[in-house]
Structure 1
Amino acid sequence: MKILTSLFAFLTVLFYCNSSSAHALWIESAPHGTVNQSHDVKVYYGEYVTNERDQIEKWYSDVKDFTLLLYVPGKAPVKVQLTNKGDHFSGSFQPTEQGTYFLSIVKAPKDLGGQTKYEFSSLMPVVIGKSSKLDYSALKNPLQVELLNSANAKKGASLQAKITSEGKVVPNAKVSVFSSTGWGKEFVADANGVVTFDALWAGAYVLEASTFVEKAGEHEGKPYASSWQGSTTFFAVK
């Protein structure tokens, strides 16, 4: 059985290493926190499923010049100060009240990939105090992954996420589910932008939604023929 498990993990990693999907930008933080206690945040760029975390100096174009915003319940978002740690950025915030906080990044690099415009984003909820339903209504990023029932996810549970763009659902979006075990699987959202998957293992997970559109435009003074968006979210399963 151990041999079969190892072979499965190897084939999974091999598949994603050879896939044409772009690198992803993702936020890592504890999904739950405590009032008046410092809460640590990290930002990585690479391939989560293969534990590939690129050195910041090798990040694509000017991706490293992103801004991390913290959405505090009932208040305007604030910028989180970050420190370069070599293969990631590190920062923290101190919540002063209970509720659901959101960490958000949206970054469109100045350089095109051939004739394609890229946009990387990440959105992560942090529940401070008592657990409550995750409310994404105040956030309308160009592409975002919304967890529907993962605030207190447990191993073996059936989980759901909704893909939206500026507040509207994105039907048939491609969604990859990655576990810290090295497991990964690709899904397609339904007509309501919802994807359903099972939490097979305990530990950390990253969900990445992506869209690709062949539509011409201009970015940073340069014409492009198509655009790609990739958005992630991070959560934990007990």
Structure 2
Amino acid sequence: MKILISFFTFLAVLLCSHTGYAHALWIESSSYGTLNQSHEVKVYYGEFATNERDQVDKWYSDVKDFSLMLHAPGKEPVKLQLTNKGDHFSGSFQPTTAGTYFLSIVKAAKDLGGKTKYEFSSLVPVVVGKSATLDYKAVKSPLQIELLGAANAKKGQSVQAKITSFGKVVPQAKVSVFSATGWGKEFVADENGILTFDAIWSGPYVLEASTFAETAGEHEGKAYASAWQGSTTFITIK
């Protein structure tokens, strides 16, 4: 099946001549953790669908200087310590209470792409103990993808997600869904920011949402005329 070109790539081709801007930043982690056991986390930059995982020293601008925050139930977020593994960063945390933990990144690249400001983000839930639904109220990013229902699903089931910005829905948001098989498809969320897709294959998926606005401002002492945001989440289909 023909691989869908990422919406990130589409925007980058239109906006600038540097293909590096097309890449996404994503967190990989098991959707479920175990009390008092180390839980591994990895962060990649590249193109998930085509298994392009850039070497850290090739990441665009200063994206590699991101902070990975852990939001534990009822606690203030803390920064996780990470190790450069060549083509990704690796870290871990040990959950000590049951509940839903969130791993989040929000990183605006220091350098502009022409006159465009680029902001990369990622948000992944980790459920510890029994939990029927995911509660995203504790996390409000500039752009985020919220999984509705369980943190994972079974092959053949429908998966729903909601796109929000600082807690408010983003209507008609464009979202690309990618499977590790190389399959991909672009969706448009409804007026409530919700999209639905069928989990055709088992294994990991990455969802990518993006927005682009002709909004002027200043970033790192440089004027920009437009702003792009890209956000991802990671889910494993059983």
Q: Distance in 1 between matches of 2:45 and 2:228?
A: 16
Q: Distance in 1 between matches of 2:221 and 2:124?
A: 32
Task: Identify the residue that residue 25 of structure 1 maps to in structure 2.
Answer: 25
- After superposition, the CA RMSD in angstroms is 1.3
Task: Identify the residue that residue 107 of structure 2 maps to in structure 1.
Answer: 107
Measured against aligned partners, the alpha-carbon deviations of 1:180-234 in whole angstroms (never above 9, x if no partner) come to: 1110000011110001110011100100100000111111110011000000000
| Equivalent residues in 2 for 1:222-237, closer than 5 Å | 222-237=222-237
How many residue pairs are counted as aligned between the two chains? 228
Task: Identify the residue that residue 4 of structure 1 maps to in structure 2.
Answer: none
Where does the alignment leave 5 or more consecutive residues of structure 1 unmatched? 1-7
Structure 1 residues 82 and 94, CA, compared in 2 at 3 Å: closer, same or farther?
same
Q: Distance in 2 between matches of 1:205 and 1:20?
A: 21
Residue 16 of structure 1, CA deviation: 4.3
Residue 12 of structure 1, CA deviation: 1.2
Answer yes or no: is the 8 Å Cα contact 2:144–2:231 preserved in 1. Answer: yes
TM-score scaled by length of structure 2: 0.93
| Equivalent residues in 2 for 1:186-197, closer than 5 Å | 186-197=186-197
Task: Identify the residue that residue 96 of structure 1 maps to in structure 2.
Answer: 96
Answer yes or no: is the 8 Å Cα contact 2:148–2:160 preserved in 1. Answer: yes
Q: Which amino acid aligns with 1:12?
A: I
Residue 142 of structure 1, CA deviation: 0.3
Q: Distance in 1 between matches of 2:193 and 2:102?
A: 21
Q: Distance in 1 between matches of 2:182 and 2:11?
A: 18
Q: Which amino acid aligns with 2:116?
A: T
Residue 155 of structure 1, CA deviation: 0.6
Q: Which amino acid aligns with 1:26?
A: W
Task: Identify the residue that residue 160 of structure 2 maps to in structure 1.
Answer: 160
TM-score scaled by length of structure 1: 0.93
Q: Distance in 2 between matches of 1:230 and 1:150?
A: 23
Answer yes or no: is the 8 Å Cα contact 2:133–2:150 preserved in 1. Answer: no
Q: Is it true that 1:75 corresponds to 2:75 in the alignment?
A: yes
Task: Identify the residue that residue 3 of structure 2 maps to in structure 1.
Answer: 12
Runs of 4+ in 1 over 6 A off after TM superposition: none
Residue 151 of structure 1, CA deviation: 1.9
Task: Identify the residue that residue 174 of structure 1 maps to in structure 2.
Answer: 174
Q: Is it true that 1:147 corresponds to 2:147 in the alignment?
A: yes
Task: Identify the residue that residue 209 of structure 1 maps to in structure 2.
Answer: 209
Question: Alignment partner of 1:49: what SS?
Answer: coil
Residue 132 of structure 1, CA deviation: 2.9
Where does the alignment leave 5 or more consecutive residues of structure 2 unmatched? 13-21
Answer yes or no: is the 8 Å Cα contact 1:150–1:235 preserved in 2. Answer: no
Q: Distance in 2 between matches of 1:43 and 1:163?
A: 21
Q: Distance in 2 between matches of 1:131 and 1:74?
A: 15
